[in-house]
Amino acid sequence: MITALITHPDCLEHVTPAGHPEQVARLEYILRALKDKDLQRIKAPMGSEDDIMRCHPASHITDLRSALPNVGSRALDADTHMSPGSLDAAFRAVGAVTKAVDMVMSGEAGNAFAAIRPPGHHCETSTPMGFCLFGNVAIGAKYALEHHGLKRVAVVDFDVHHGNGTQDLLWNEARALVITSQQMPLWPGTGERSDKGGHDNIVNLPIPPESAGDQMRALYTSEAFPRLRAFKPEMIFISAGFDAHQDDPLANLNWSTDDFKWLTQELCKIADEICDGRVVSALEGGYDLDALAEAVAAHVDALMEASA
């Protein structure tokens, strides 16, 4: 089978203020890095409100619609902004993840990467934050459980910032295991080991600043991978943030491109063992444009090797 790349031009229409790290160029660099790869290229549909409301109340959607500017930019907080195209982009981001789930479940694709923005893993139940408007991956996880009837899913989040939104949205979901590694201390300041979820279903793996990839590999090998194998999810979601890269300007970890590829390969191996290789990955962070493009290309190469 082949790896699906799911994206949409609307995701380029989410325009942030000049100098903002979560910029249109991030997706442009990624798509350029992937343009010659043998991928099944799919245009993301619009996500449905019903799917979004698996995680967020209707009032959250209403509030975002009310905040949408007709021109220019509107700040929801110091970090999170909306332009006239932002809400369509956010709906496409949700649609990309649910489409990825559909394709992997049906066997149309061996696995899938959703090249989307805005990202999602900081958006809490009713609070957009950290550049994020909807909890894309959490919505995908609930969709897999409730629409496709899976019994267990797992989310692995290797973004350098803690996925506080995913933790919030899946805290009481016994059918979802959430494993998240993050630099600590670092914004948003959450992600303590003591945060274990309502059903011992949250695994936080704090990593000290200036750590390199060998420490990440040891931590995942000793803690994350055994939890995944024990839980036996029927699909693995990856919140694929690339801001732990040594060149990233927003954090202080020192992972290499090879570290991201290794981690993806290991997750795909576990998926092959326990859930027929079902992996859905979605873009989160990564803010050095060249490092981001290189690391995403390596991540997608690993997905392609696994689906071949």
Residues belonging to the chain: 308
Residue 166 confidence (pLDDT): 98
How far apart, in whole angstroms, are the C-alpha atoms of residue 117 and residue 222? 32
Residue 182 confidence (pLDDT): 98
Q: What is the pLDDT of residues 108-129, one digit of tens each?
A: 999 999 999 999 999 999 999 9
DSSP 8-state symbol, 179: E
Residue 155 confidence (pLDDT): 99
pTM here is 0.98
Per-chain mean pLDDT for the chain: 98
3 state DSSP class of 193: coil
Q: What is the pLDDT of residues 235-279, one digit of tens each?
A: 999 999 999 999 999 999 999 999 999 999 999 999 999 999 999
pLDDT band at 205 (very low <50, low <70, confident <90, very high): very high
281 - beta bridge partners?
113, 238
pLDDT band at 60 (very low <50, low <70, confident <90, very high): very high
Q: Decide if 162 is catalytic.
A: no
pLDDT band at 199 (very low <50, low <70, confident <90, very high): very high
Residue 248 confidence (pLDDT): 98
Contacts of residue 308, defined as CB under 8 A and 6 or more positions apart, other chains included, come to: 1, 110
Residue 177 confidence (pLDDT): 98
Residue 160 confidence (pLDDT): 98
Which candidate in 8, 56, 121, 122 is catalytic? 122
How far apart, in whole angstroms, are the C-alpha atoms of residue 280 and residue 97? 7
Span 203-208, mean pLDDT? 98
In single-letter form, the type of residue at position 234 comes to E
Residue that is written with structure tokens 């991956």 in the block = 137
How far apart, in whole angstroms, are the C-alpha atoms of residue 284 and residue 286? 7
Angle CA(30)–CA(296)–CA(283) in degrees, nearest 5?
Answer: 80
How far apart, in whole angstroms, are the C-alpha atoms of residue 306 and residue 302? 6
Torsion angles phi and psi, residue 55, rounded to 5: -120, -30
